[in-house]
A and B are shown apart, each in its own frame.
Chain A
């Protein structure tokens, strides 16, 4: 990882320990996510690989959301829409390949699916972002939710693709050399994607672009006063974040091989948001930790009792009451985001 050169000399000592800690946490998480699922899979616990695949894909979405939420202070309550769009970008071409019609997009080609997922998410983010970014605070939360709900009902009305019943993907995206049908390959792809995306977000947050976003978060008027128009930076970040979630949707579609409008429901947007907050929005690995804890807890508790929502809900409440900045604050006192806490 990178060491920043912009740190002032008297902060260098401090920055160094921070960097070391960040590296340690990164190494630990990467090791756990690389080794544990593989070992479980090879020892016959195939279902655990499923859990980890889902977890890693949702972690990608959470990291994507945190790009605007943690860095830019823009709380989007509609990011499930991008996951859904990414998944339908796999499902719809595959559907037409299997059952005919719409020859222009009917293909199993993975590169086409991927390009479609990213383009559609980017466009949706661009259009809704232009309007949403006019609002601030809670109104921003609600307007992003409104756009996601519109997309949800739009997909529900598409009877060809199953409407509310959803769509089964019979054939996964096809790529040369690798096959996503192999669970271990799919996990590896998701895992490596996560690492790359976390690294990219880390670079972005330390770049001029990232610093501008953080400036906009803490004081937009002051940014304007020094001649920076935050709007276009925020819009760019909003689109990037949407594209990352669209990519997560592309992976999720290939993983579950079943997609439905339910994936874009506001409760799903809420879940991703909760992963971010639970893990800690101000930490690089926060969203990943949040996703891990959320998914594993959900699974383990629901195994124990059908009333698992009660202990789960209590844990959420206690984590807010007693951990101020999310779970990651326990592991990592501070994070690479410069300018934090000033």
Chain B
């Protein structure tokens, strides 16, 4: 037993850098195992592409990237974060696909006086009462995207919708968001089982939705549940009677699979988002082109946010010429959001959440025959989340 332990200790001693190298250390926490690993992999690819684009240097110093896996579990994510903070002594912790992982980990990062950058999750708490001077979001607040969808539905004159989402906090946020802006009637609502043994067969709910006589179907199913949902929607033949409106359900990760499976029902369906691969600005064009050249597929919005989080960090480190002790200088630089973002120019609110545009996107076939999304119109302009008022900063 002693032998095993001393071997373990030895490994720890070797792997832990006791010497402080002159480099910018970034820890990136995402999901690299389980069924959600494809999202994490997309983010990892985008982070590596961002580092390639900036020549792996920030403020004249080389960048050291440490990827960490949250295993889709808050507890594991927090442990990974603790390790990044305590053992690797990183300067920035970025990433976080999941709201609950972010909420679990934020205290570890912030208490140690380091910067925390969310590259996806945007639970209402961190935008409101738990806002923090060292927390920045490179994504959005959960409620914003469904609020944009509510507006889209109003604009298109949809009078009634049926709502489906997984029964967990982000799912409830999404439902609350669309309820907040949608003026028509919500004729039915299903919150389905989520978590480890999440429900993936939606036959009962789809039958109810169809029987409800709603004019549209609003859903939020991230990750693999999204693909499963779209397939069953298609198989139930609801395309003509019950048009689909989604948030965070159809993305660049699910579309190739849906195309492979011949799920034509998804073409023409609408979603809202802060970004799209065809968003016209120089940074985005380069990001999308290089990403496709390297990985053969369109980047997902997870990737876009991951790319932006690296650029945001670079803007901070550049502003202080690599003097990583100058926290105030770096914070001030990030607050200006003065960096080439794939979403174009945006600004930060008092709670360090982006104030940005939201677009309506439609699923189409591009000129090479790949399924992707294009922007129809701007539905919310320079939109700020509603929790900013609860933030005391």
Contacts and interface: CB of A to CB of B under 8 A. Distances in A.
**Do chains A and B make direct contact within the complex (CB under 8 angstroms)?**
yes
Given A28-B1, A164-B169, A309-B33, A262 B8 contact: no
A138 interface: no
Contacts of B5: 32, 36, 292, 296
Contacts of A292: 1, 5
Contact of A258 (B13, B74, B83, B195): B74
A304 B92 CA distance: 22
B248 interface: no
B4 A256 contact: no
A293 interface: yes
B104 interface: yes
A304 B300 CA distance: 28
A165 B18 contact: no
A164 B166 CA distance: 11
B9 A168 contact: no
A306 B1 contact: no
A110 interface: no
B172 interface: yes
A166 B103 contact: yes
A168 B104 contact: yes
A300 interface: yes
A32 B100 contact: no
Contacts of B189: none
Interface in B84-106: 86-87, 99-100, 103-106
B78 A40 contact: no
Contacts of B18: 44
A32 to B, nearest CB: 6
B110 to A, nearest CB: 11
Interface string A270-300: 0000000000000000000100110010011
A313 B262 CA distance: 37
A150 interface: no
Interface in B336-379: none
A227 to B, nearest CB: 43
Contacts of B69: 302, 306
A47 B87 contact: yes
Contacts of A164: 100, 167-169, 194-195
Contacts of B11: 300, 303
A292 B3 CA distance: 13
Interface string A27-59: 011001000100010001111101000100000
B196 A258 contact: no
B235 interface: no
Contacts of A159: 169, 172
A267 B196 contact: yes
A29 B2 CA distance: 9
Nearest to A25: B1
Interface in B1-42: 1-2, 4-5, 8-9, 11-13, 15-16, 18, 32-33
Nearest to B41: A306
Interface residues of A, number: 41
B18 to A, nearest CB: 7
Contacts, number: 104
A32 B169 contact: no
A48 B13 CA distance: 10
A293 B4 CA distance: 8
A312 to B, nearest CB: 12
Given A165-B123, A260-B74, A300-B8, A32 B2 contact: yes
B239 interface: no
Contacts of A309: 33
A47 B83 contact: yes
Nearest to A257: B107
Contacts of A263: 75
A100 to B, nearest CB: 12
Contacts of B73: 262
Contact of B9 (A36, A156, A162, A165): A36
Interface in A12-29: 28-29
A303 B15 contact: yes
B74 A262 contact: yes
A45 B8 CA distance: 13
Nearest to B71: A302
B2 A256 contact: no
Given A28-B2, A165-B99, A265-B196, A48 B74 contact: no
B82 interface: yes
Contacts of B32: 306
Contacts of A54: 79
A203 B169 CA distance: 46
Interface in B247-292: none
A104 interface: no
Interface in A222-274: 256-258, 260-263, 265, 267
A50 B82 contact: yes
A162 B104 CA distance: 11
- Residue among B8, B16, B105 with the highest chain A CB neighbour number at 10 A: B8
Contact of B103 (A48, A168, A293, A300): A168
A156 B74 contact: no
Nearest to B72: A262
Contacts of B100: 162, 164-166, 260
Contact of B75 (A48, A50, A262): A262
Interface of B: 1-2, 4-5, 8-9, 11-13, 15-16, 18, 32-33, 69, 73-75, 78-79, 82-83, 86-87, 99-100, 103-107, 123, 167-170, 172, 194-196
16 contacts: A36-B9, A45-B13, A47-B83, A47-B87, A50-B86, A163-B172, A164-B167, A166-B104, A256-B78, A258-B103, A260-B75, A260-B104, A261-B195, A262-B195, A302-B69, A306-B33
Given A46-B87, A306-B33, 12 more contacts: A32-B1, A32-B5, A44-B18, A45-B13, A50-B79, A162-B169, A163-B169, A164-B100, A165-B103, A170-B107, A306-B32, A309-B33
Interface of A: 28-29, 32, 36, 40, 44-48, 50, 54, 156, 159, 162-166, 168, 170, 256-258, 260-263, 265, 267, 289, 292-293, 296, 299-300, 302-303, 306, 309, 331
